[in-house]
Structures are given as structure tokens and as C-alpha cells.
Amino acid sequence: MKKFEAAIAGGGVIGGAIALELARAGLRVAVFDRQQAGQEASWAGAGILSPAPENPGMVAMVPLGKASLALYPEFVGWVEEISGKSTGFRPKGTLEALFSHDTKAELSTIIALHHGLGLKAEPLRAEDARELEPALSEEVEAAVLRPEEGSVDNRALTTAILKAAERSGAEIFSGDGAKAIWREGNRCAGLLLQNEKVEAKWTIIAAGCFSATIEGIAPYVPVRPAKGQMAALRADDLKMERVLWSERIYLVPRNDGRILAGATIEYAGFDKRTTAGGIGKILSGAIDLAPGLANARLEETWAGLRPDSPDHLPILGPTDVDGLLIATGHFRSGILLAPVTARLVREWITEQRVSADWDRFSPLRFPSATADAASRVPA
């Protein structure tokens, strides 16, 4: 029987980052993934690094996002140093384009919201925005520059994190996912794989939208897959430095010259097929935002499954089962939140305290978890 100090279910960017943090802290760590590690949501995303809330319900996540964004330069620095691989980190900002004819009111609202949350945002006239990003449509009426944001090549980052974790002493077992948690009374003793038990003092569930399929933890992780379709374009004569964002689409330039466009949000179970309608919507939005993309080559299309919780916020922290921690439900922010998630989990395991308030994201906030805990209390 395998025995570790920490066993992690899920080998994406979250599980890999946690493994790296724990291994660097001197713990014996293992990661178990149902397939090749790093091939689900971490592979399929766009890698945008933005703590700005997409809707009012996500304002609660802004402090966590800001903390993680602040960690990113140092984080990618030592990931690249340990792994010997590039992560495609581009701290060049985001430009949010506004097409509304009532841009004055919209612009002031956006700027006030960002400043109120402690986020840097600068209003730009349309001509100034196009001077920064000549690819922008002439239909753009105004823009907001968010200078502290950026992007990372999520595929390269995940590969580098997993390599760095291994080089730091973590063991990664691909094709050997967790079937259930191993419970002994009110203690989690490890994981049950397909054909063996893994003993661990600490068990961390970081299996993205597949977390709820692990027997014994469903009450804590009511996540469902949120499908996002994506396209990669290449336009040799089109220059784009920053992430471009509009109400309909986002465009993310890569160091290799590709421009990623996405993403839809669809609740279709575990279906990862791309559709004509989904890709058509993406391409239409991309061309409206940057008309020069009409002549771009379509190099790749794909879809991924984000882990979405009922309130669209991460599920992060200890449960009422001793030794069991959750790190999933990051929805569209898994890449952004990887550094802070890994740090908080490592702090909890090694120090039994955390440097940021994570109570809002507790796995115990869901009624199903509360009811499950109550059912285990003796009458």
C-alpha cells in the first residue's frame, strides 16, 4: 500500500500547484489523476489573469484574485527555474472595449467599480485605445485599460508546474484516479483507487468538475461541468499585445503568434464536443472586436469543462472530516487562482493557519454538507 503525507486527487493546474508547494515544504506528496495529468480544464483554458468580477456575485472572489495575481511573477519565476520550461507569462494588461453608444455612463460605472474594489483601471478614448491596440475595430466607442492584468499559456504553465512538482519530489500517477475517499470514522485516511488504497495524513480533492464523482465527498463539492468552446487563430499581419475583452468575446495573444478566442458557457454535462454554433459565435465576436481576424487561419478548435459551483465561487478549505481538504470549483479562474490556492493549502497543512481569509469559500457553506455533517452526529 502506498503511503504519503499528502495525497491529491486531480493533476491539473490546481492539484499540481498544491503538490509543488507541499513538496517544496518537505512533504512526501502524490498526485493521482484519472488520465494523463493536466489534460482537462487546465489544458483547455485561455490563461487570462484577471481578478475583475464578471458579475456582482463574483465580487467576493476579488481579494483572493488580487492576492493570487500579486503572487504570479514570483510563482512563474520559480516554476520556470525548477522545471526548465517557459510558462508564456505575459503581464501586459487587458483592454476592455466598449461598443455602447452610451459609453460615458458605462465607462464611469466600470471605472468606479474597479477603483472601489482596489483594482487599477484607466478610461481611454477610442482613438487612444486603437493606438495601443491597432487591431481594435473602428466601431469601438471607448475602452478601459486594466494595466496590472495579463495572461499565461495555461498548457505550458500546467506542464511546467507538474515537471517542477516532480523535480521537487512529488510523485504523479496518471491514469490512476481516485474512486473514493478512505474514511475511518470521522477521519479521512487517504484515497481509494481502482485497485488499491493510498494512505495519507492529508487528502486534497482537486479534481475539477470530476470532484463530485469521487465517492464520499459529494456533499462538499456540488460542482458541475461548464463547457467552454475555444478557437485558436493565426494572423501573421495582425499585431496584438494585450488581452482584448468585450461583452461578447475575449482574445488572448500567445508568444507563438496565435490568438485564442473564447469562450462559451454551456451546461451540457460532460460533453466536450465543439459545435458549429459555438465556434460560429466565437468567430463572429472575434471579428467584430478585431476585424483583421477575418483573414486569419483557424488553427485549432476545442472545448473544456470548467468546475462550476452553485454560487460560481471556489470551494476551498478544510471539511468537518479530519484530514480532508477541498480545492475545486474555481470555474473560470483556476489558472489565476492556482498560486494562492496552493499557498493557502500548504499553510493550512504545515501551520494550521492561512494568510488570507478563505471562510467565504468553505466546503461547509452548502446545505448538503451541513446536512451530511448533522446526519453523522449521534442522537
DSSP string, 175-219: T----EEEEETTEEEEEE-SS-EEEEEEEEE--GGGGGGSBT-GG
- Give the pLDDT band (50/70/90) at residue 219: very high
Asked if residue 1 has pLDDT above 70, the reply is: yes
Task: Yes or no: say if 291 and 238 are a contact pair by the CB < 8 Å rule.
Answer: no
Q: Is 109 exposed, middle or buried (0-12, 13-18, 19+ CB in 10 A)?
A: exposed
- In CATH, the number for domain 94-150+225-308 is 3.30.9.10
Mean pLDDT of 210-228: 96
Q: Which residues pair with 149 in a beta bridge?
A: none
The pLDDT, as a whole number, for residue 373 is: 54
Check whether the bond before 303 is cis (ω within 30° of 0).
no
For the chain, give the mean pLDDT. 94
Rounded Cα–Cα distance for residues 135 and 156 (Å): 26
Rounded Cα–Cα distance for residues 53 and 117 (Å): 10
Antiparallel, parallel or unpaired: β 324-328 and 315-318: antiparallel
Angle between helices 62-83 and 334-351 (to 10 degrees): 90
Mean pLDDT of 25-31: 98
Task: Yes or no: say if 346 and 327 are a contact pair by the CB < 8 Å rule.
Answer: no
Residue 83 is placed in which grid cell? 522545471
Q: Which CATH superfamily is domain 2-84+154-222+311-375 in?
A: FAD/NAD(P)-binding domain (3.50.50.60)
Maximum pairwise Cα distance, the chain: 72
The pLDDT, as a whole number, for residue 56 is: 83
Give percent helix, percent strand, percent coil of the chain, each to the nearest 5: 40, 25, 35
Domain boundaries, the chain: 2-84+154-222+311-375, 94-150+225-308
Asked if residue 263 has pLDDT above 80, the reply is: no
The pLDDT, as a whole number, for residue 370 is: 59
> pTM (2 decimals)?
0.95
Antiparallel, parallel or unpaired: β 258-262 and 250-253: antiparallel
Asked if residue 47 has pLDDT above 90, the reply is: yes
Distance, CA of 296 to chain centre: 28
Task: Yes or no: say if 54 and 263 are a contact pair by the CB < 8 Å rule.
Answer: no
Q: Name 144's Cβ contacts closer than 8 Å, sequence gap at least 6.
A: 95, 96, 98, 107, 110, 111, 114, 121, 122, 123, 124
The pLDDT, as a whole number, for residue 153 is: 98
Give the angle 51-254-340 at the CA atoms, nearest 5°.
Answer: 30
Question: Taking Cα atoms as reference points, which of 190, 227, 220 lies closest to residue 305?
Answer: 227
Share of the chain above pLDDT 90, in %: 91
The pLDDT, as a whole number, for residue 288 is: 96
Residue 329 is placed in which grid cell? 470549483
